[in-house]
Every structure is written in structure tokens, then in C-alpha cells.
Amino acid sequence: MNGLFERPPVLGFAARSGSGKTTLLSALLPMLVQRGIRVGVIKHSHHDFEIDQPGKDSYRLRKAGAVQMLIASPHRTALIEENAVPREPELASLLMRLDRDTLDLVLVEGFRHTAFPKIEVHRAATGRPFLHPHDPSIIAIASDAPLTTTLPRLDLNRPQDIAAFVTDFIATHHNGTTP
């Protein structure tokens, strides 16, 4: 596997829209942080979005023509880049922007069509089919429904078990093997 996805290990959460990826990650992150794991997150969005607010200086400067706007305070830093031509983001280039030396793990929400280790999030109520039969990079399934698979099955309603799986995933990568 590409070294870019190994140090720190990169683990995705892939699902069809409305399956609860963000809800699961929001529950997992505090558990991982409590274990002393430094986590970076990359989230894919299919929508146009604003992270700064109309009327704020950064918004005004970006709208005035800045193609890159970096805003920094003692509390956080944000880089906003305008794409002259809308294009789908590439996970590899986004990973290179992170300060990976300060992280133990990068969690990725989305990018389900990119090949890297992923946990499929599946909620029976959505009525949608599973992704894993068509994606060999899925290494486990977090679901609220019983299923027959050779992949590890994680109970979507037990995020502590998913956190343990993620912790094992990190340990496996630090030992030089891939799950």
C-alpha cells in the first residue's frame, strides 16, 4: 500500500448518504482521544460550503478575490482555498496537507471510491444495499443489522467496540503489518 496511507495509518468510514457516518465518528472521536490517540479527520462533501461567515474579515477578503485565505488565531488556523474550476478533491493530496507527524491516526469520512482501508457503515433502516461486495478495501462492517460476511462485523450501536477495533488497527499498522 502507498506509504502515504500508512504513517500514520489512514482509516475510512464509507457509506451511502444518511447512514450515520458523522454520527458514528462524533461518538468515536472522544473515545479515541481518551485513549491518548491523536486523530486527524478528513471529510468529503459533495456540496458547496462556507466555513467563514458573511461580514467577517476573512469572508470579505476571500470574496474580494483571494484564492487562498489563511486565518489564524491563538486557538485555531484555517486555510480556505478557492478552486477556479470545481474539481473532485483527491484524498492523497489532502493527506499531504496534514501535519502527519503530530497524528497517530487519520480518519476519513467519505472517499468511498478511493482504495484504502475502510469500515463500511450500514444502517438497515436506509434500505440500501451494502458496499462491501463491490469494494475490496472494506476491512469491516459496522451495522445495526445481522449479516453474513467473512469480514469483521461491528455493532453500530456499540461505538466502544468500534473504538477497540480502530485501536487494534493502529497497533497493527505500528507493528508493520496490515489487517
The string of pLDDT tens digits covering residues 73-89 is 788 887 878 778 878 88
The amino acid that residue 93 corresponds to is: S
Report, in this order, helix, strand and coil percent for the chain, each rounded to 5: 30, 20, 45
| CATH code for position 167 | 3.40.50.300
Do 104 and 170 belong together in one domain?
Answer: yes
> What is the span of the domain harbouring residue 64?
49-85
| Helical H segments across the chain, by residue range | 21-34, 57-63, 91-97, 159-174
Do 25 and 97 belong together in one domain?
Answer: yes
User: Under the phi-then-psi rule, with left for phi > 0, alpha for psi from -120 to 50, and beta for the rest, what region is 117?
Assistant: beta
The amino acid that residue 147 corresponds to is: L
Do 159 and 71 belong together in one domain?
Answer: no
Is there a domain that residue 179 lies in? no
Percent of residues, the chain, with pLDDT higher than 70: 91
In the chain, how many domains are there? 2
Best mean pLDDT range from 4-18, 111-125, 126-140: 111-125
Tell me how far apart the alpha carbons of residues 63 and 19 are, in angstroms, rounded to a whole number: 34
Do 98 and 81 belong together in one domain?
Answer: no
Do 166 and 79 belong together in one domain?
Answer: no
The three three-digit cell numbers of residue 141, written as one number: 462492517
- Say whether pLDDT at 163 is over 90: yes
Percent of residues, the chain, with pLDDT higher than 90: 44
Look at residue 49 in the predicted model and tell me its pLDDT: 55
Do 72 and 143 belong together in one domain?
Answer: no
Tell me how far apart the alpha carbons of residues 13 and 20 are, in angstroms, rounded to a whole number: 10
Do 61 and 128 belong together in one domain?
Answer: no
Do 149 and 104 belong together in one domain?
Answer: yes
Do 78 and 94 belong together in one domain?
Answer: no
What is residue 92's three-state secondary structure? helix
DSSP tag of 160 = H
State pTM to two decimals: 0.85
